[in-house]
Protein backbone atom coordinates (compact mmCIF):
# COMPACT_ATOMS: atom_id res chain seq x y z
CA UNK A 1 0.00 0.00 0.00
CA UNK A 2 1.48 3.35 -1.01
CA UNK A 3 0.82 6.90 0.10
CA UNK A 4 1.52 8.76 -3.17
CA UNK A 5 1.81 12.14 -1.47
CA UNK A 6 5.00 11.26 0.45
CA UNK A 7 5.71 7.83 -1.09
CA UNK A 8 5.41 5.94 2.19
CA UNK A 9 4.92 2.19 1.85
CA UNK A 10 3.16 0.13 4.51
CA UNK A 11 3.66 -3.55 5.20
CA UNK A 12 3.00 -6.20 7.85
CA UNK A 13 6.00 -7.74 9.65
CA UNK A 14 8.44 -10.06 7.78
CA UNK A 15 7.77 -13.78 7.30
CA UNK A 16 10.26 -16.59 6.63
CA UNK A 17 8.17 -19.27 4.95
CA UNK A 18 10.78 -22.04 4.96
CA UNK A 19 13.41 -22.79 7.60
CA UNK A 20 14.45 -25.48 10.06
CA UNK A 21 14.63 -24.48 13.72
CA UNK A 22 15.79 -27.97 14.69
CA UNK A 23 18.90 -27.69 12.48
CA UNK A 24 22.01 -25.55 12.85
CA UNK A 25 21.94 -25.22 16.63
CA UNK A 26 19.55 -25.22 19.56
CA UNK A 27 15.93 -24.61 18.42
CA UNK A 28 15.19 -21.97 21.07
CA UNK A 29 18.43 -20.12 20.32
CA UNK A 30 17.66 -20.31 16.60
CA UNK A 31 14.26 -18.76 17.25
CA UNK A 32 15.90 -15.94 19.17
CA UNK A 33 18.20 -15.31 16.21
CA UNK A 34 15.15 -14.92 13.98
CA UNK A 35 13.67 -12.33 16.33
CA UNK A 36 16.99 -10.51 16.59
CA UNK A 37 17.02 -10.28 12.80
CA UNK A 38 13.53 -8.75 12.74
CA UNK A 39 11.62 -11.81 11.49
CA UNK A 40 8.18 -12.04 13.11
CA UNK A 41 6.76 -15.27 11.68
CA UNK A 42 8.47 -18.48 10.57
CA UNK A 43 7.18 -21.67 9.00
CA UNK A 44 9.30 -24.58 10.14
CA UNK A 45 9.66 -27.01 7.23
CA UNK A 46 10.21 -30.27 9.04
CA UNK A 47 11.58 -31.61 12.31
CA UNK A 48 12.58 -35.23 12.79
CA UNK A 49 9.91 -37.26 14.60
CA UNK A 50 8.31 -34.10 16.04
CA UNK A 51 11.37 -33.20 18.11
CA UNK A 52 10.12 -29.60 18.39
CA UNK A 53 6.99 -30.64 20.31
CA UNK A 54 8.72 -29.99 23.62
CA UNK A 55 10.22 -26.59 22.71
CA UNK A 56 8.65 -23.48 24.24
CA UNK A 57 9.51 -20.82 21.67
CA UNK A 58 9.79 -17.09 22.49
CA UNK A 59 6.24 -15.66 22.56
CA UNK A 60 7.20 -12.76 20.28
CA UNK A 61 7.94 -15.18 17.43
CA UNK A 62 5.05 -16.90 15.69
CA UNK A 63 6.19 -20.42 14.78
CA UNK A 64 4.05 -22.37 12.32
CA UNK A 65 5.21 -25.98 12.25
CA UNK A 66 4.71 -28.54 9.53
CA UNK A 67 5.98 -31.23 11.90
CA UNK A 68 7.90 -34.25 10.59
CA UNK A 69 8.18 -34.25 6.80
CA UNK A 70 6.43 -36.93 4.80
CA UNK A 71 9.05 -39.04 3.03
CA UNK A 72 9.57 -42.65 1.94
CA UNK A 73 11.56 -44.70 4.38
CA UNK A 74 15.05 -45.36 3.03
CA UNK A 75 15.00 -42.20 0.91
CA UNK A 76 16.32 -38.69 1.47
CA UNK A 77 14.73 -36.89 4.41
CA UNK A 78 15.08 -39.04 7.52
CA UNK A 79 16.88 -36.19 9.34
CA UNK A 80 13.74 -34.05 9.24
CA UNK A 81 11.09 -36.63 8.46
CA UNK A 82 8.53 -38.83 10.14
CA UNK A 83 10.24 -42.14 10.94
CA UNK A 84 7.47 -43.29 13.29
CA UNK A 85 5.41 -46.41 12.61
CA UNK A 86 2.27 -44.58 11.54
CA UNK A 87 0.12 -44.81 8.43
CA UNK A 88 0.42 -42.07 5.84
CA UNK A 89 -3.01 -40.73 6.75
CA UNK A 90 -2.08 -40.68 10.45
CA UNK A 91 1.14 -38.76 9.72
CA UNK A 92 -0.78 -36.19 7.70
CA UNK A 93 -3.54 -35.81 10.29
CA UNK A 94 -1.05 -35.36 13.12
CA UNK A 95 0.91 -32.48 11.58
CA UNK A 96 0.75 -29.59 14.09
CA UNK A 97 -0.56 -26.90 11.73
CA UNK A 98 -2.53 -26.56 8.51
CA UNK A 99 0.58 -27.38 6.44
CA UNK A 100 2.09 -30.71 5.46
CA UNK A 101 5.69 -30.93 4.23
CA UNK A 102 6.27 -33.59 1.56
CA UNK A 103 9.68 -34.55 0.15
CA UNK A 104 9.36 -35.47 -3.52
CA UNK A 105 12.97 -35.51 -4.75
CA UNK A 106 16.49 -35.54 -3.39
CA UNK A 107 19.09 -32.79 -3.38
CA UNK A 108 20.70 -30.84 -6.20
CA UNK A 109 24.03 -32.36 -7.22
CA UNK A 110 27.18 -30.28 -6.95
CA UNK A 111 29.07 -32.84 -9.05
CA UNK A 112 26.87 -33.13 -12.12
CA UNK A 113 24.98 -30.05 -13.38
CA UNK A 114 21.24 -30.61 -13.50
CA UNK A 115 21.30 -33.92 -11.67
CA UNK A 116 18.81 -34.39 -8.83
CA UNK A 117 18.62 -37.00 -6.08
CA UNK A 118 16.09 -39.84 -6.57
CA UNK A 119 12.37 -39.21 -6.70
CA UNK A 120 10.23 -40.70 -3.93
CA UNK A 121 6.59 -40.44 -4.96
CA UNK A 122 4.84 -41.01 -8.28
CA UNK A 123 2.31 -38.50 -9.59
CA UNK A 124 -0.50 -40.80 -8.48
CA UNK A 125 0.97 -41.18 -4.98
CA UNK A 126 1.56 -37.45 -4.58
CA UNK A 127 -1.98 -36.72 -5.77
CA UNK A 128 -3.31 -39.08 -3.10
CA UNK A 129 -1.22 -37.33 -0.43
CA UNK A 130 -2.62 -33.96 -1.49
CA UNK A 131 -6.16 -35.36 -1.42
CA UNK A 132 -5.64 -36.76 2.08
CA UNK A 133 -4.24 -33.44 3.29
CA UNK A 134 -7.03 -31.37 1.79
CA UNK A 135 -9.61 -33.75 3.29
CA UNK A 136 -8.41 -32.79 6.78
CA UNK A 137 -8.06 -29.09 6.00
CA UNK A 138 -4.34 -28.98 5.30
CA UNK A 139 -2.18 -27.59 2.48
CA UNK A 140 0.89 -29.24 0.99
CA UNK A 141 4.33 -27.67 0.61
CA UNK A 142 6.62 -29.91 -1.43
CA UNK A 143 10.42 -30.16 -1.45
CA UNK A 144 11.08 -30.66 -5.14
CA UNK A 145 13.78 -30.10 -7.75
CA UNK A 146 13.86 -30.80 -11.53
CA UNK A 147 11.27 -29.50 -13.94
CA UNK A 148 9.57 -32.88 -14.44
CA UNK A 149 9.00 -33.33 -10.71
CA UNK A 150 7.86 -29.70 -10.36
CA UNK A 151 5.34 -30.19 -13.18
CA UNK A 152 4.01 -33.31 -11.51
CA UNK A 153 3.73 -31.47 -8.20
CA UNK A 154 1.70 -28.76 -9.92
CA UNK A 155 -0.49 -31.42 -11.56
CA UNK A 156 -1.00 -33.09 -8.17
CA UNK A 157 -2.40 -29.85 -6.76
CA UNK A 158 0.25 -28.89 -4.21
CA UNK A 159 -0.01 -25.43 -2.71
CA UNK A 160 3.63 -24.36 -2.79
CA UNK A 161 6.84 -25.42 -4.51
CA UNK A 162 9.87 -25.36 -2.22
CA UNK A 163 13.32 -24.94 -3.83
CA UNK A 164 12.31 -25.82 -7.40
CA UNK A 165 15.79 -25.84 -8.93
CA UNK A 166 15.80 -26.39 -12.71
CA UNK A 167 12.15 -25.46 -13.04
CA UNK A 168 11.27 -24.29 -16.56
CA UNK A 169 9.34 -21.16 -17.61
CA UNK A 170 6.37 -23.20 -18.85
CA UNK A 171 5.93 -24.76 -15.42
CA UNK A 172 6.14 -21.36 -13.76
CA UNK A 173 3.44 -20.04 -16.08
CA UNK A 174 1.20 -22.93 -15.05
CA UNK A 175 1.91 -22.12 -11.40
CA UNK A 176 0.92 -18.51 -11.98
CA UNK A 177 -2.34 -19.64 -13.61
CA UNK A 178 -3.15 -21.94 -10.68
CA UNK A 179 -2.00 -19.59 -7.92
CA UNK A 180 0.71 -21.94 -6.65
CA UNK A 181 3.39 -20.19 -4.61
CA UNK A 182 7.13 -20.63 -5.18
CA UNK A 183 9.72 -20.43 -2.41
CA UNK A 184 13.03 -20.63 -4.32
CA UNK A 185 15.45 -20.57 -1.33
CA UNK A 186 18.20 -19.03 -3.47
CA UNK A 187 20.45 -18.15 -0.50
CA UNK A 188 20.81 -21.83 0.36
CA UNK A 189 22.61 -22.27 -2.97
CA UNK A 190 24.28 -18.88 -3.38
CA UNK A 191 25.80 -18.99 0.12
CA UNK A 192 27.85 -22.03 -0.86
CA UNK A 193 29.85 -19.95 -3.34
CA UNK A 194 31.82 -18.42 -0.47
CA UNK A 195 32.84 -21.96 0.60
CA UNK A 196 34.09 -20.91 4.08
CA UNK A 197 35.16 -24.44 5.05
CA UNK A 198 36.79 -25.23 1.69
CA UNK A 199 34.47 -28.18 1.13
CA UNK A 200 34.12 -27.86 -2.62
CA UNK A 201 36.41 -28.42 -5.59
CA UNK A 202 36.79 -25.87 -8.38
CA UNK A 203 34.47 -27.99 -10.54
CA UNK A 204 31.84 -28.11 -7.79
CA UNK A 205 32.02 -24.36 -7.22
CA UNK A 206 31.52 -23.76 -10.93
CA UNK A 207 28.38 -25.92 -10.83
CA UNK A 208 27.12 -24.17 -7.70
CA UNK A 209 27.56 -20.78 -9.38
CA UNK A 210 25.75 -22.04 -12.46
CA UNK A 211 22.90 -23.41 -10.31
CA UNK A 212 22.53 -20.09 -8.49
CA UNK A 213 22.66 -18.02 -11.68
CA UNK A 214 19.90 -20.08 -13.28
CA UNK A 215 17.73 -19.86 -10.18
CA UNK A 216 18.08 -16.08 -10.19
CA UNK A 217 16.95 -16.00 -13.83
CA UNK A 218 13.88 -18.08 -12.99
CA UNK A 219 13.04 -15.88 -10.00
CA UNK A 220 13.02 -12.87 -12.30
CA UNK A 221 10.88 -14.72 -14.85
CA UNK A 222 8.48 -15.88 -12.16
CA UNK A 223 8.03 -12.38 -10.81
CA UNK A 224 7.52 -10.86 -14.24
CA UNK A 225 4.89 -13.46 -15.07
CA UNK A 226 2.76 -13.31 -11.95
CA UNK A 227 4.00 -16.23 -9.87
CA UNK A 228 3.40 -15.63 -6.18
CA UNK A 229 6.86 -15.67 -4.60
CA UNK A 230 7.79 -15.89 -0.92
CA UNK A 231 10.95 -15.42 1.10
CA UNK A 232 12.10 -18.74 2.53
CA UNK A 233 15.71 -19.08 3.62
CA UNK A 234 16.14 -22.79 4.40
CA UNK A 235 18.01 -21.57 7.49
CA UNK A 236 19.56 -24.37 9.51
CA UNK A 237 21.02 -25.98 6.41
CA UNK A 238 24.79 -25.99 5.97
CA UNK A 239 26.20 -22.44 5.70
CA UNK A 240 22.69 -20.96 5.90
CA UNK A 241 22.66 -19.31 9.35
CA UNK A 242 19.51 -18.45 11.23
CA UNK A 243 18.50 -14.81 11.35
CA UNK A 244 20.84 -12.98 9.01
CA UNK A 245 20.01 -15.14 5.98
CA UNK A 246 16.63 -13.40 5.69
CA UNK A 247 18.32 -10.17 4.57
CA UNK A 248 20.60 -12.20 2.29
CA UNK A 249 17.57 -13.81 0.59
CA UNK A 250 15.99 -10.40 0.02
CA UNK A 251 19.24 -9.05 -1.42
CA UNK A 252 19.37 -11.94 -3.86
CA UNK A 253 15.82 -11.19 -5.02
CA UNK A 254 17.02 -7.66 -5.79
CA UNK A 255 19.99 -9.17 -7.62
CA UNK A 256 17.43 -11.14 -9.65
CA UNK A 257 16.08 -7.83 -10.92
CA UNK A 258 13.13 -7.27 -8.59
CA UNK A 259 12.54 -3.75 -7.29
CA UNK A 260 13.43 -3.24 -3.63
CA UNK A 261 9.95 -2.14 -2.62
CA UNK A 262 8.50 -5.19 -4.36
CA UNK A 263 10.91 -7.42 -2.43
CA UNK A 264 9.62 -5.88 0.79
CA UNK A 265 6.09 -6.81 -0.30
CA UNK A 266 7.17 -10.37 -1.12
CA UNK A 267 8.88 -10.66 2.28
CA UNK A 268 5.77 -9.50 4.12
CA UNK A 269 2.39 -9.51 2.33
CA UNK A 270 3.14 -12.62 0.30
CA UNK A 271 4.33 -14.54 3.34
CA UNK A 272 1.22 -13.72 5.34
CA UNK A 273 -0.98 -14.58 2.37
CA UNK A 274 0.73 -17.94 1.88
CA UNK A 275 0.18 -18.79 5.55
CA UNK A 276 -3.46 -17.75 5.37
CA UNK A 277 -3.09 -15.06 8.00
CA UNK A 278 -3.21 -11.29 8.32
CA UNK A 279 -0.51 -9.21 9.95
CA UNK A 280 -1.99 -6.59 12.26
CA UNK A 281 1.21 -4.79 13.25
CA UNK A 282 2.50 -2.59 10.43
CA UNK A 283 5.76 -1.15 9.15
CA UNK A 284 6.06 2.15 7.31
CA UNK A 285 8.97 2.75 4.97
CA UNK A 286 9.89 5.23 2.28
CA UNK A 287 11.12 3.95 -1.07
CA UNK A 288 14.62 5.32 -0.60
CA UNK A 289 15.35 3.32 2.55
CA UNK A 290 17.74 0.35 2.31
CA UNK A 291 16.50 -3.24 2.58
CA UNK A 292 17.82 -3.59 6.10
CA UNK A 293 15.45 -0.81 7.25
CA UNK A 294 12.51 -3.22 7.01
CA UNK A 295 14.16 -5.59 9.46
CA UNK A 296 15.44 -2.84 11.76
CA UNK A 297 11.95 -1.40 12.16
CA UNK A 298 10.43 -4.83 12.63
CA UNK A 299 13.04 -5.66 15.29
CA UNK A 300 11.97 -2.60 17.30
CA UNK A 301 8.31 -3.56 17.08
CA UNK A 302 9.01 -7.16 18.13
CA UNK A 303 11.04 -5.96 21.13
CA UNK A 304 8.06 -4.08 22.58
CA UNK A 305 6.21 -5.95 25.36
Q: Hey, how many other C-beta atoms are within 10 angstroms of the C-beta on 254?
A: 13
Largest alpha-carbon pair distance within the chain?
A: 60
Sheet of 62-65, strand order: 15-19, 41-44, 62-65
Tens digit of each residue's pLDDT (9 = 90 or more) over 180-218 = 999 999 999 999 999 999 999 999 999 999 999 999 999
CA torsion sign for 110, 114, 115, 121 is positive
Q: Hey, how many other C-beta atoms are within 10 angstroms of the C-beta on 103?
A: 25
Tens digit of each residue's pLDDT (9 = 90 or more) over 219-267 = 999 999 999 999 999 999 999 999 999 999 999 999 999 999 999 999 9
Domain spans, the chain: 2-303
Residues 6+ apart with CB under 8 A from 32: 58
The CATH code for residues 2-303 is 3.20.20.140
pTM given for the model: 0.96
Amino acid sequence: MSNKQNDILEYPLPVDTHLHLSLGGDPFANAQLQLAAGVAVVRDAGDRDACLDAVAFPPALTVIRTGPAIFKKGSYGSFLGDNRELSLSEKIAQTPSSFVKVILTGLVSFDDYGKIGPRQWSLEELSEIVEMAVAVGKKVMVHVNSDKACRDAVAAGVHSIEHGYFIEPETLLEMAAKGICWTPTIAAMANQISDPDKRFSATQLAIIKRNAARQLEMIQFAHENGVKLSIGTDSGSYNVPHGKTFLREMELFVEAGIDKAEVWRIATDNGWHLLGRQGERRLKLSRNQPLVALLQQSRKILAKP
